[in-house]
């Protein structure tokens, strides 16, 4: 939940959710509209290619064995390569190949797509922009030239209250079971089991943040240690009892 007021706000229904795009102090209305259309087309194309709910999507056809990887659009192989890297970074706690039903890169794709949508606005005359894909946030700039975005992380036991406010320098992904129940797959337990109630990862790349937040949710402390040694990435967890843990550089606002 953003704690600043946007200059303009746009909504795109895609990937089974609503993606919110906020533009701050934009001085190029025509350019913003063109960028918005490109972002909309990009997100719908990602949904067309990667949806696991659409039987005709290339990813669904790949999962069923109807086509080979070489017969899918090039971005499928690109995303799976990125997923393989995230799997290695997470020590195997993020593993799209372990999920029931076949490979499912959804835990990477949403963040990856949101960041690519954000890139469509970088050339505009504005102070900052935010793309929010159901709580996975990519941003640049700020609400003004001299300020930084701030956003809230909700309490897992009470979504109407904030557990923390953080400075949003680039990207933030939060994963947990508050809204969707047990949907995060633990590849080592081979079951939908989480180690913490909420897991957040901040860093420069939202696809990586998204994947590592998923891994942190199911791996807990073991993954926190891995993120702590990653350059430019920080993490925070909230347990069911409300206790919080964070790496030393996680950008919590203390004042």
Contact 218, 184 (CB under 8 A): yes
Residue reference for tokens 């064995």: 65
User: What confidence score (pLDDT) does residue 6 get?
Assistant: 52
What is the maximum alpha-carbon separation in the chain? 56
Q: Which residues pair with 202 in a beta bridge?
A: 172, 234
SS3 10: strand
- To 5 degrees, how large is the angle CA 183–CA 130–CA 81? 55
Query: Cα–Cα distance between 64 and 54 in angstroms, integer?
Result: 12
| Phi/psi of residue 62, nearest 5 degrees | -65, -45
Mean pLDDT, the chain, whole residue set: 92
**Cα 116 from Cα 60, distance rounded (Å):** 22
Phi, psi of 129 (to 5 degrees): -150, 150
Residue 165 tokens, joined: 């406010």
Tokens of 100: 């029931």
Decide yes or no: CATH 3.10.520.10 for domain 8-246: yes
Return the bridge partners of 235, or none. 201
Give the integer Cα–Cα distance in Å for 34 and 31: 5
Q: How many residues does the chain have?
A: 255
Determine the pLDDT at residue 4.
38
The pTM assigned to this predicted structure is: 0.92
CA distance 177 to 198: 7
pLDDT by 10s per residue, the chain, length 255: 333 345 788 999 887 789 999 999 999 999 999 999 999 999 999 999 999 999 999 999 999 999 999 999 999 999 999 999 999 999 999 999 999 899 999 999 999 999 999 999 999 999 999 999 988 999 999 999 889 999 999 998 888 899 999 999 999 999 987 655 567 889 999 999 999 999 999 999 999 999 999 999 999 999 999 999 999 999 999 998 889 999 999 999 986
Calculate the alpha carbon distances from 169 to 123, 148, 165 in Å.
Answer: 18, 7, 13
Question: Does residue 122 sit in helix, strand or coil?
Answer: coil
Tokens 């669904």 map to which residue? Answer: 60
Q: What integer pLDDT is reported at residue 2 of this predicted model? A: 33
Q: How far is CA 22 from CA 29, 98, 149, 185, 208, in A?
A: 13, 35, 11, 32, 22
DSSP code for 90: T
């Amino acid at each position: 939940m953003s704690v600043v007021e946007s200059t303009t706000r746009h909504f795109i229904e895609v990937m089974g959710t609503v993606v919110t795009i906020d533009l701050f102090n934009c001085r190029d209305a025509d350019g913003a509209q063109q960028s918005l259309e490109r972002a909309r087309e990009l997100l719908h194309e990602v949904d067309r290619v990667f949806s696991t709910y659409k039987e005709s999507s290339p990813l669904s056809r790949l999962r069923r064995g109807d086509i080979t990887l070489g017969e899918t659009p090039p971005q499928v192989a690109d995303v799976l390569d990125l997923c393989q890297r995230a799997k290695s970074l997470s020590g195997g706690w993020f593993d799209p190949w372990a999920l029931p039903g076949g490979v499912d890169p959804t835990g990477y794709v949403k963040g990856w797509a949101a960041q690519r949508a954000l890139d469509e606005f970088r050339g505009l005359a504005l102070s900052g922009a935010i793309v929010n894909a159901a709580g996975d946030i990519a941003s640049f700039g700020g609400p003004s030239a001299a300020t930084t975005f701030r956003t809230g992380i909700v309490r897992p036991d009470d979504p109407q209250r904030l557990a923390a406010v953080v400075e949003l320098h680039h990207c933030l992904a939060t994963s947990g079971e508050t809204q969707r129940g047990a949907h995060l797959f633990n590849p080592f337990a081979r079951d939908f089991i989480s180690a913490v109630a909420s897991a957040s990862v901040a860093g420069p790349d939202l696809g990586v943040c998204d994947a590592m937040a998923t891994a942190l949710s199911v791996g807990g402390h073991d993954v926190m240690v891995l993120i702590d040694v990653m350059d430019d990435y920080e993490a925070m967890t909230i347990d069911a009892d409300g206790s919080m843990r964070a790496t030393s550089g996680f950008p919590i606002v203390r004042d």
